[in-house]
Chain A
Amino acid sequence: MGAHLARRYITETDTEPDPKKKFEFGPQVGLPDRNEREMVATQEQMNLAQLPVEQRDYCAHHLLKLMKCKRDNWPAFLSCKHERHDWDYCQNQDYLMRMKEYERERRLQLRKKRLAVQPEAA
Chain B
Amino acid sequence: MLTTIVTSSHLLVITLLILPILTTLNPSPVPPPWATSQVKTAVKLAFFVSLAPLIIFLNEGTEAIVTNWAWMNTLTFDINLSFKFDHYSIIFVPIALYVTWAILEFASWYMHADPQMNRFFKYLLTFLIAMIVLVSANNMFQFFIGWEGVGIMSFLLIGWWYGRTDANTAALQAVIYNRVGDIGLILTMAWLATNLNSWEMQHMFTASKDMNLTLPLMGLILAATGKSAQFGLHPWLPSAMEGPTPVSALLHSSTMVVAGIFLLIRLNPLMENNQMALTTCLCLGALTTLFTATCALTQNDIKKIVAFSTSSQLGLMMVTIGLNQPQLAFLHICTHAFFKAMLFLCSGSIIHSLNDEQDIRKMGGMHRLAPFTSTCLTIGSLALTGTPFLAGFFSKDAIIEAMNTSHLNAWALALTLLATSFTAVYSLRVVFFVSMGHPRFLPLSPLNENNPAVISPLKRLAWGSIIAGLLITSNLTPLKTPIMTMHPALKLSALIVTILGLLVALELASMTSKQVKVSPALSPHHFSNMLGYFPMITHRATPKVGLILGQTMASQTVDQTWLEKAGPKMITSAQLPLISTSSNMQQGSIKAYLSLFFMTLCLATLLINSL
Residues of A within 8 A of B (CB): 1, 52, 54-55, 57, 59, 63, 66-67, 70-71, 74-75, 77-78, 88, 91-92, 95-96
A78 cross-chain contacts in B, Cβ below 8 A: 474
Task: Evaluate contact between A91 and B490: CB separation under 8 angstroms.
Answer: no
Among B73-81, B154-162, B481-489, the stretch that binds chain A is B481-489
Task: Evaluate contact between B474 and A77: CB separation under 8 angstroms.
Answer: yes
- Of B59, B471, B474, most A-chain CB atoms within 10 Å: B474
B479 cross-chain contacts in A, Cβ below 8 A: 52, 55
Q: Give me 6 other A-B pairs in contact (C-beta within 8 A), A71-B59, A95-B484 excluded.
A: A1-B489, A66-B477, A77-B474, A91-B481, A91-B485, A95-B485
Task: Evaluate contact between A96 and B489: CB separation under 8 angstroms.
Answer: no
Q: A70 CA to B479 CA in the complex, in Å? A: 14
A91 cross-chain contacts in B, Cβ below 8 A: 481, 483-485
The interface bits of chain B over 454-484 (1 if a CB of A lies within 8 angstroms of the residue's CB, else 0) are 0000000000000000010011010111011
B58 cross-chain contacts in A, Cβ below 8 A: 74-75
A66 cross-chain contacts in B, Cβ below 8 A: 477
A92-B477 contact, Cβ under 8 Å, with A71-B61, A74-B59, A75-B59: no
Task: Evaluate contact between A95 and B483: CB separation under 8 angstroms.
Answer: yes
A1-B487 contact, Cβ under 8 Å, with A55-B479, A77-B474, A77-B475: yes
Task: Evaluate contact between A92 and B487: CB separation under 8 angstroms.
Answer: no
Size bracket, chain B contacts: 10 to 19
A92-B484 contact, Cβ under 8 Å, with A1-B489, A1-B490: yes
Q: A57 CA to B489 CA in the complex, in Å? A: 28
A55 cross-chain contacts in B, Cβ below 8 A: 479-481
**Of B61, B484, B487, which contacts A88 at CB under 8 A?**
B484
A63 cross-chain contacts in B, Cβ below 8 A: 477
Q: A95 CA to B482 CA in the complex, in Å? A: 11
Q: A68 CA to B215 CA in the complex, in Å? A: 41
Residues of B within 8 A of A (CB): 55, 58-61, 471, 474-475, 477, 479-481, 483-485, 487, 489-490
Q: A54 CA to B483 CA in the complex, in Å? A: 13
A1 cross-chain contacts in B, Cβ below 8 A: 487, 489-490
CB of A62 to closest CB in B, whole Å = 11
CB of A61 to closest CB in B, whole Å = 14
Give the number of A-B contacts (CB < 8 Å): 41
CB of B400 to closest CB in A, whole Å = 16
CB of A51 to closest CB in B, whole Å = 9
Task: Evaluate contact between A54 and B481: CB separation under 8 angstroms.
Answer: yes
A88 cross-chain contacts in B, Cβ below 8 A: 484
Closest to B488 in A: A1
Sort A-B residue pairs by CB-CB distance and give the 9 closest, nearest first.
A95-B485, A77-B474, A92-B485, A77-B475, A74-B59, A1-B487, A88-B484, A55-B481, A67-B477
B480 cross-chain contacts in A, Cβ below 8 A: 52, 54-55
A71 cross-chain contacts in B, Cβ below 8 A: 59-61
Closest to B487 in A: A1
Q: A109 CA to B471 CA in the complex, in Å? A: 49
Q: A70 CA to B58 CA in the complex, in Å? A: 9
A95 cross-chain contacts in B, Cβ below 8 A: 483-485
Closest to B476 in A: A70
B55 cross-chain contacts in A, Cβ below 8 A: 75
B474 cross-chain contacts in A, Cβ below 8 A: 77-78
CB of B273 to closest CB in A, whole Å = 12
CB of B397 to closest CB in A, whole Å = 15
A52 cross-chain contacts in B, Cβ below 8 A: 479-480
Closest to B61 in A: A71
Closest to A63 in B: B477
CB of A49 to closest CB in B, whole Å = 10
CB of A14 to closest CB in B, whole Å = 22
A70 cross-chain contacts in B, Cβ below 8 A: 475, 477
Closest to A92 in B: B485
B483 cross-chain contacts in A, Cβ below 8 A: 91, 95
Q: A91 CA to B480 CA in the complex, in Å? A: 12
Q: A91 CA to B482 CA in the complex, in Å? A: 9
Q: Can you spell out 30 A-B residue pairs with CB atoms less than 8 angstroms apart? A: A1-B487, A1-B489, A1-B490, A54-B480, A54-B481, A55-B479, A55-B480, A55-B481, A57-B481, A59-B481, A63-B477, A67-B477, A70-B475, A70-B477, A71-B59, A71-B60, A74-B58, A74-B59, A74-B475, A75-B58, A75-B59, A77-B471, A77-B474, A78-B474, A88-B484, A91-B481, A91-B483, A92-B485, A95-B484, A96-B485
Closest to A50 in B: B61
A96 cross-chain contacts in B, Cβ below 8 A: 485
B485 cross-chain contacts in A, Cβ below 8 A: 91-92, 95-96
Q: A109 CA to B408 CA in the complex, in Å? A: 26
Closest to A52 in B: B479
Closest to A79 in B: B474
Q: A2 CA to B484 CA in the complex, in Å? A: 18
Q: A107 CA to B561 CA in the complex, in Å? A: 78
- Of B58, B59, B481, most A-chain CB atoms within 10 Å: B481
B490 cross-chain contacts in A, Cβ below 8 A: 1
CB of B391 to closest CB in A, whole Å = 16
